[in-house]
Structure 1
Amino acid sequence: MSATRQAPVRLTQFAHGGGCACKIPPGELEEVVAGLAAPPSAAAGAPLLVGIATGDDAAVVGHRGTALVCTADFFTPVVDDPYDWGRIAAANALSDVYAMGGRPLLAVNLLAWPRDRLPFDLAGEVLRGGLDVATEAACHVGGGHSVDDPEPKYGMAVTGVADPEQLLRNDAGRPGLPLSLTKPLGLGVLNNRHKATGERFEQAVATMVALNRDAGEAALAAGARCATDVTGFGLLGHLHKLARASGVSAVIDTGAVPYLDGAREAVRDGYVSGGTRRNLEWVTPYTDFGDTDADTRLLLADAQTSGGLLVAGEVPGAPVIGELVPRGSHSLVLR
């Protein structure tokens, strides 16, 4: 438990958004990066295995028989406790490596801090939280970079390794594969309620700080080759990207999707972020919602922070929430 739990400073009040809900909306982001794919590198022996084309979780380059996995992730405070924020941000950044079937080796900190508004001892707690989670992941932390910024932000750039023949990619889905989800949804609405009221949700913190290491290893052991992690674009957004990249459609059994305790009540009471609403707006043209009610639609689009892995395949202990099917008129079908 953090030594600063009773600190009067509420970090979430220093940010316009919180966690992965502060990401640039997916539709706007895709317009910005369209056409930015670089030509193949002439560097001998270093082929780009995964780049920007499919919007996967990390970049992957081949090097001397292995695959180097590179990613960066940072965001504004998602909780008020600085130590927990650091742990959550680190777990979230490391998750991109696990989502590619990799093992993180080295991380560097990315810190933006309003030095005239917030004491540096809080920044120290944030960094301590990140270090503790990286240590749990057996990942070195070798320094980093900081800037003076009006809004606090923290995360990590992470490098890992993977077997190039056993990558988990978002473009490797095939019809007939079941879909497994390794963490429950509802993190976004609970975090938004925390930001608005100061209520602390231990079940949300415990879910966010949990590494996706075991889930990634279990997916590989089960023979999976297609996965993504569920973060700021919500389950629907990330599944839409997976289905689009793989040339398939996805059917979701809405009754099988797990949610955190209190998530439906948070939606009912209006604690829905703008990021979640933008996610839902983005996927609506590609989705057959059937008779799914409005609250469930919002939860399925809820902007998660450090969410679970969405795996095309069965993962022991994780619920199966749907399946991939041949490409139809919609990339997503809710039943």
Structure 2
Amino acid sequence: MMPEEIVFCKGGGCTAKLGAGVLERILSRLPKPEKKDENLLIGFESSDDAAVYRISEDTAIVQTLDFFPPMVEDPYIFGQIAAANALSDIYAMGGDVRTALNIVCFPEKMDLNILGKIMQGGSEKVIEAGGTLVGGHSIADADVKYGLSVMGTIHPDRIFPNDGAQEGDVLLLTKPLGVGIVCTANRMGEASQEAMDMAVRSMTTLNKYASEIIRKYDVHGCTDVTGFGFLGHLKEMLAKGLSAEIDSIRIPHIPESLAYADGFFLTAAAQRNRNHVGDLVEFCGVPFAVEELLFDPQTSGGLLVSMPKEDAQQALAEIAALGLPCGIVGKVMKKETQKIVVL
């Protein structure tokens, strides 16, 4: 009998996330404590990127975790991407990384050198973040999964909530969209080396650097764009009575991703994102490929920041120097009904 074949990369990253609609229904039914802990500054009610718990007048803990299956064939690069993605939630809150714990699912029949490469890539990103890897947990599983549980710190008065956008703000995106589409095309053997190189560079770049830049300015709201796509995460940023207008021409993206979208290298996760927020979006003469780009689930995507225009323009110049496509992509407006207009 031939041994069972174990495939390393079946398609993963943030495309593996459960749909936002499913999660909303489940979370809404969870029991809540009779009395809210006054030190819990941010929980899961606002679908924010991480929990924040105050431990003193000038210090709060930021807590998050993230893990998923591989989206690339190279175990070392996968480890880097998975770690950068998990660390990103701390930076989306405006915090600094302190410690991290490995989360590992790995088949017993697979070469342990592969696991070593994954964990090496992850460990190096934790060190780059200025944090310390302090342990973790592993289980035997049919498929590979890897990620981190991360603890960071932040001043309680300097938190970047995801839903703090204000009328008149502009929206700044710090990384290109399209990594989900490019990785899908790559699994089919259709992605160019240039497109895949840009996708990997984007996914392995820590949001630490963009976060440190925007902290010098007046930030009203911030999130990182991951599995729910640009439009799904933008929806979470818009509080009641707010809307957004997006200039599709200004959306930073991996150039080849639009051609791949036109070639229908799409994901089920993108369709779930469309089903969840599509009714809130009005596309005005926008090509199909651009629609898909905005629904595309991102792995280790950039920060989406709501801030005053003058601050955004100064921050953009600094973020552009990091070397990845970025841009001011839209503005926040006041409307009776929440609506995202894409021009």
Q: Judge same fold: TM > 0.5, yes or no.
A: yes
Q: Residue 110 and residue 240 in structure 1: after superposition, are their counterparts in 2 closer, same or farther (change >3 A)?
A: same
Q: Give distance in 1, aligned partners of 2:181 and 2:216.
A: 33
Q: Which residue identity does 1:210 align to in structure 2? A: T
Q: Which residue identity does 1:105 align to in structure 2? A: R
Aligned length: 320
Q: Report deviation, 1:279.
A: 0.7
Answer yes or no: is 1:320 the counterpart of 2:328. yes
2:322 match: none
CA offsets 1:306-326 (integer angstroms, 9 cap, x no match): 000000021323411001111
2:148 match: 156
Q: Give distance in 1, aligned partners of 2:208 and 2:35.
A: 31
Answer yes or no: is 1:280 the counterpart of 2:274. yes
1:58 match: 50
Q: Give distance in 1, aligned partners of 2:217 and 2:142.
A: 46
CA contact (8 A) 2:270 2:297 kept: yes
Answer yes or no: is 1:231 the counterpart of 2:226. yes
The alignment-based identity, stated in percent, is 37
CA contact (8 A) 1:171 1:246 kept: no
2:183 match: 191
Q: Give distance in 1, aligned partners of 2:332 and 2:132.
A: 37
**Structure 2 residue corresponding to 1:139, chosen from 103, 112, 131:** 131
Q: Residue 138 and residue 302 in structure 1: after superposition, are their counterparts in 2 closer, same or farther (change >3 A)?
A: same
Q: Residue 293 and residue 157 in structure 1: after superposition, are their counterparts in 2 closer, same or farther (change >3 A)?
A: same
1:266-305 superposed matches below 5 A: 266-305=260-299
**Structure 1 residue corresponding to 2:67, chosen from 35, 58, 74:** 74
Local SS of the residue matching 2:235? helix
Local SS of the residue matching 1:221? coil
Answer yes or no: is 1:100 the counterpart of 2:100. no
4+ runs of 1 displaced by more than 4 Å?
40-43
Q: Report deviation, 1:327.
A: 2.9
Q: Give distance in 2, aligned partners of 1:162 and 1:37.
A: 28
**Structure 1 residue corresponding to 2:208, chosen from 201, 204, 213:** 213
1:84 match: 77
Q: Give distance in 1, aligned partners of 2:331 and 2:235.
A: 13
Q: Report deviation, 1:166.
A: 1.0
1:129 match: 121
Q: Residue 246 and residue 50 in structure 1: after superposition, are their counterparts in 2 closer, same or farther (change >3 A)?
A: farther
1:307 match: 301
Q: Report deviation, 1:290.
A: 1.9
1:31 match: 25
Local SS of the residue matching 1:39? coil
* CA RMSD between the two structures: 1.7
For structure 1, which runs of at least 5 residues remain unmatched after alignment? 1-8
